Amino acid sequence: MRQRTIIGLCLTAAWIVPIHRAHAQPTPQVVAVLDALERAGDKINDLQTDLRFETFNTILEDRITKTGELLYKKQDPNALFLVRFDRLSQGGVTNENREWHFFDGNWYTEAREMTRQVIRREIVRPGEKINPFELGKGPFPLPFGQKKSEMLQRFDIALLPTSGNDPPGSTHLQCVPKAGEELADKYVALHLFVDEKTDLPAKIIAEQTDDNVITVWFDNLRINPGLPGSVFKLPPEAADWDTETESLPPDPE
């Protein structure tokens, strides 16, 4: 099954974290954090969180920040998620700038009010499964529900000391893609800041190989609020916007 990484949501800051080489084998402290992270993710049926998504280009020193909300709901065979951005800040100026990113289990849809354009991409064929929580995979990677075995297989992971830039009461995991991993083509390192009370990510930084650093903050996180499926949709006015559709090629026999 062909899968595309549409947007690297995980993740900017104006600074780059120095890379620390991890031990050949993960330390007991790293294993304990990953165990707690996996247990907390397994309990998620749905979630809602305020979202702050910042992209910083280290060459141009240009920063763009979007604010909005993320909704997620577990279902079979694939989960639903909706990201809505309401405002965009750049160069000290903040404007309303509404856009939506919606995955319905098969189709990933981007809609932008400014251009009045909708792009629909088929990501998964009917009946096939995809894990939208898997870092670097799926249509919009999310940092919740990571599996310890998968993380250790794909990353060299080190526990770093926290700093004044980190969320209060968090643990800092540096995840460097292992040599030969596809993720190494896109990411220098991913940094997860795990809240010590919820054992869920409060912030994530992605240092990308294209000189961009992306930071996402998850604020006011609500776990299992009982979201109805009806809230996962585009705004009604998007039905009148220009729509482009990209289907997967026919499944080879």
Give SS3 for 13.
coil
pLDDT at 25: 82
pLDDT at 198: 94
Residues 6+ apart with CB under 8 A from 91: none
More confident residue, 49 or 25: 49
Distance CA 206, CA 142 (A): 12
Cα–Cα nearest to 206, from 34, 3, 7, 13? 13
| Domain ranges, residue 180 | 28-246
Report yes or no on 7 lying in a domain: no
Please give the C-alpha separations between residue 77 and each of 14, 89, 246, in angstroms, as whole numbers. Answer: 39, 37, 21
What is the residue whose two structure tokens read 């996996």? 38
Cβ(52)–Cβ(65) below 8 Å: yes
pLDDT at 3: 41
| For residue 184, pLDDT beyond 70 | yes
Q: Which residues of 49-59 are buried (b: 16+ CB within 10 A; e: fewer)?
A: bebbbbbbebe
User: What is this structure's pTM?
Assistant: 0.84
pLDDT at 21: 55
Q: Once rounded to an integer, what is the mean pLDDT over residues 115-119? A: 97
Task: Indicate which CATH number applies to the domain containing 59.
Answer: 2.50.20.10
Distance CA 38, CA 242 (A): 41
Report yes or no on 219 lying in a domain: yes
- Across all residues in the chain, what is the average pLDDT? 87
Distance CA 190, CA 175 (A): 5
Report yes or no on 15 lying in a domain: no
Report yes or no on 4 lying in a domain: no
Report yes or no on 13 lying in a domain: no
3-state helix vs strand vs coil in the chain, percent to 5: 15, 40, 45
pLDDT at 162: 86
Q: Once rounded to an integer, what is the mean pLDDT over residues 9-22? A: 46
pLDDT at 82: 96
pLDDT at 126: 86
Q: Once rounded to an integer, what is the mean pLDDT over residues 168-189? A: 92
CB atoms within 10 A of CB 170: 17
What is the residue whose two structure tokens read 């247990």? 39
Report yes or no on 106 lying in a domain: yes
What is the tally of structural domains in the chain? 1
Distance CA 193, CA 196 (A): 9
Q: Which amino acid is at 75?
A: Q
Percent of the chain predicted with pLDDT > 70 = 86
Distance CA 48, CA 225 (A): 7
Report yes or no on 138 lying in a domain: yes
Cα–Cα nearest to 146, from 132, 134, 130? 134
More confident residue, 23 or 72: 72
DSSP code string of 195-251: ETTT-SEEEEEEEETTSEEEEEEEEEEEES----GGGSS--GGGGGSEEEEEPPPPP
Instruction: List pLDDT tens digits, range 185-243.
Output: 989 999 999 999 999 999 999 999 999 999 999 999 999 999 999 999 999 999 999 99
- Assigned token pair, 9: 């949501």
Report yes or no on 189 lying in a domain: yes
